[in-house]
Amino acid sequence: MDWKQLWDIASAPDNVPIVALIPLLAFYIYLAWKQAHANDRLIAQLEGDAAAAKTQYRKTWPFQPGWQKEIHVWPFLLRVEFLAAIIVTIILMIWSITLNAPLEEPANPNLTMNPAKAPWYFLGLQEMLVYFDPWIAGVVMPTLIIIGLMVIPYIDTNPLGSGYYTWKQRKFAIGTFLFGFIVLWVSMIIIGTFIRGPGWQWFWPGQTWDHNRLIYEVNRDLPDLFGITSNWAKAIFGAAVVGGFYGLGGFALHAFFRRYNPKDYKRMSLLQYSIMFFFVLTMLALPIKMLLRLLFHIKYVWITPWFNV
């Protein structure tokens, strides 16, 4: 197992941000979780003490010893921001001195890179191209991401938990964000950086990137497994499978959401509920499609003359 090659990949100047991303992401998730857990305990404490909850402890007397009576921009916020700006500036200066910019020689059409990888912030899109048509992976999916972020304030109208971290009051919102950001984006960046080697083939960490490696894998479409050969039959079969996924998945999510998040269920209208389920199921469809390709070599599920899914 070539661990030296893994170190060469991880220490490459253009991969340093991805290596730094992993511990920083873990730290800030832990920090946010710690603050959310502390706020959850405080909320539970105030719910059990009605007198303390009515005192507006932040403006009159500190609710706990050591707390400030009021939080001002100066000196609290500006002091922290100023120190953070200095630290980040020092880090960037040391970074620029110790690591060379990842610039390469002029492009040569007779000698292309293998693997040819996009910048780290586009590796997620490049990995999605393995599982979807280019216009779906490059246009439709990013558009759904942008629209999904835009409609979140209109779908999640829960007034609780605004302005402070709390897991108890924002389970669905926080859980959905973590799934979308970590599972659907950060994980694909890591796969594209450390797993995808020459020919965009799958190499586990420690495996040597062999440029002469050949993999004889036959990718088949889902209708081919059932002996469907007609193009129209494939389109109808794929539409039924995709429709069944959204239908059965919607019923499963409905039962789960109604049981474990009844307050948000009662607060949402039918339109909000439908839009939310569409985006959640679309998010789940990406890892399902990836598993179908990686484990069962299924290329497409829905085949039409215009698009393939």
Q: Using one digit for the tens of pLDDT, what is the confidence trace for 163-208?
A: 778 888 888 888 888 888 888 889 999 998 888 988 888 888 878 8
Task: Record the tokens describing residue 177, joined without a space.
Answer: 């964000």
Q: Which of 123, 100, 136 is nearest to 184 (CA)?
A: 123
Flag the least confident range among 17-21, 66-70, 221-225. 66-70
Angle at 279 between CA 243 and CA 270, to 5 degrees: 85
User: CA 221 to CA 228: how far, in whole Å?
Assistant: 10
- Surface-to-core class of residue 263, CB atoms within 10 Å of its CB (0-12 exposed, 13-18 middle, 19+ buried): exposed
CB atoms within 10 A of CB 78: 11
**Tens-place pLDDT, residues 43-61:** 888 777 777 666 655 544 5
